[in-house]
Structure 1
Amino acid sequence: MTLAVIADTHGNLPALEAVLADIARRNITDVIDLGDCASGPLWPRETCELLMARGFPTVRGNHDRWVATFALADLSPSDCYTHNALNETQRQWLRDLPATVKLHPDTLAVHGLPEDDNRYLLEDIEHGRLVRAPADAIAQRLGRTDAALVLCGHSHQQHMIRLPDGPIVLNPGSVGLPAYRDPTGVAHVSEVGSPHARYALVSRDNGSVTIELVSLEYDHASAAKRAAANGNPGWAHALATGFALPA
């Protein structure tokens, strides 16, 4: 059995279409989405339409929650754009998504932490950048779990770790946004250094687990152009380069 793991599409329709086409080319039918589906100055409405039609098990991300529940005055410009682009049926779909999904008895899907969708599971912030957190810190954040595999998103950083005497924790990376600058709390950037769309494959066979981290070319220039046309040069730069726009 092979499971495709996607996360953090952020309304990037051409990136999502490229990823889903690659998954279909591999004849994979099982897909899990770890959230932050639509938020961003791109194609939120069309992205929601596609994801809702596919009906994948989907975790609610922090931006999904904000877009669906916060007052417009409390939203960032990109989340405000998203809220206004979505119809009420789509906002209700985001609102109703679960905070966690138990795929199998031993597979747990979350966005950030199991109890907090706006915190990083695998990363710390040091000198304004995301770095891999120590294994003991990851284990403490995760808490007690009977899962052998934990799937998380939120940081847009594609990597995995096997915790000592604990589960494999996998972040598939971001389908639709390879870099961002977060000025809230402890200000920091997340950058992966290329504009590729990212996801992961988890294959199981007789108790063994094989994980493939996938990076795909897609028409990122069209996504960058869309962000620029919608007045967001930071997103445009990130989509074109994989780096955050210098402050």
Structure 2
Amino acid sequence: MRIAVLADIHGNVLALDAVLNDLRQRGGADLIVNLGDCVSGPLWPRETMERIERLDLPTVRGNHDRRVARDPLDDAMWPSDRYAYERLTAAQREALFALPLTLDVAPGVLAFHARPDHDEKYLTDAIVDGRLVRAPLAAIERRLGAIDAACRIILCGHSHRSELIRIAGGPIIFNPGSIGCPAYHDDTPPAHVSEQGSPHARYGIVELHPDRFEAIAVDYDHEAAARQAEQAGRPEWAHALRTGFMSG
């Protein structure tokens, strides 16, 4: 079985289309899984949501999917979430909120956005000197909690950083990286950045029995995405889309 793994699209329909085209050129997949954070960002939330709805993918709910659907529409709402909220229909926002926290996508394969019990806490990452790095293995094991013994593979996103980690006596954790947002700044204490280091759209392919993992970086018209972010008044997003790094 061949599973394509998508994560953290963040409204970047250009990057999503490039990934889907690359997947077709590689022969497609038996299953495409979407790990959430579908639309939040100053790009094309409505167009992205419509594309995802047509694809009808198994999808888990990310923290920004929840925030777009449920955060109060006030000055405290994060700008990327507000931008998406204002461009989605009420039905689309409800569909985001209704997504499950976890999914068993194949025998022994569990998918979730961040952690199995929380959509916004990091699983494999630690914050060191204001940026995300790989967390100690003991911390990852503790955060993972009790997982069904039959679980061999965990698919997760959220950090926008590609990772492949084997838990001794447990599952392999695979994060393909972000399709549509190659770097971000989070001012939630402690403030930190995540940087993929290039503007490419990232996704993954998992082949089962024998297990094989491939993290893929696809070029696309990131300059067009950056210009869209600039038009929306988000120069920091534009810089991240062009470079894969945060400015400053």
Structures share a fold, TM > 0.5? yes
- Name the counterpart of 1:80: 82
Please give the residue correspondences for 1:95-106 in structure 2 after superposition, counting only pairs within 5 Å: 95-106=97-108
- Name the counterpart of 2:21: 21
Please give the residue correspondences for 1:1-247 in structure 2 after superposition, counting only pairs within 5 Å: 1-29=1-29, 30-73=31-74, 74-146=76-148, 147-205=151-209, 208-246=210-248
Question: Per-residue displacement from partner, 1:28-75 (whole Å, max 9, x unpaired)?
Answer: 231000000000000000000000110000000000000001111141
Question: Per-residue displacement from partner, 1:203-245 (whole Å, max 9, x unpaired)?
Answer: 113xx20001100000000000000000001100000000012
CA RMSD of aligned residues (A): 0.9
Of stretches 52-61 and 103-112 in structure 1, the one that deviates more from structure 2 is 103-112
Structure 2 residue matching 1:166: 3-state secondary structure: coil
Structure 2 residue matching 1:3: 3-state secondary structure: strand
User: 1: CA distance between counterparts of 2:115 and 2:139?
Assistant: 12
Structure 2 residue matching 1:130: 3-state secondary structure: strand
Which aligned segments of 4 or more residues in structure 1 are displaced greater than 3 angstroms?
A: none
Structure 1 residue matching 2:208: 3-state secondary structure: strand
Structure 2 residue matching 1:28: 3-state secondary structure: coil
TM-score normalized by the length of structure 2: 0.96
Give the share of equivalent positions with the same residue, in percent: 51
User: 2: CA distance between counterparts of 1:89 and 1:25?
Assistant: 33
User: 2: CA distance between counterparts of 1:108 and 1:134?
Assistant: 22
Letter in 2 for 1:55: D
User: 1: CA distance between counterparts of 2:110 and 2:101?
Assistant: 11
Aligned residues: 244
Cα drift, residue 7 of structure 1: 0.2
Of stretches 79-88 and 24-33 in structure 1, the one that deviates more from structure 2 is 24-33
TM-score normalized by the length of structure 1: 0.97
Structure 1 residue matching 2:10: 3-state secondary structure: coil
Structure 1 residue matching 2:211: 3-state secondary structure: strand
Unaligned runs of 5+ in 2: none
Letter in 1 for 2:77: L
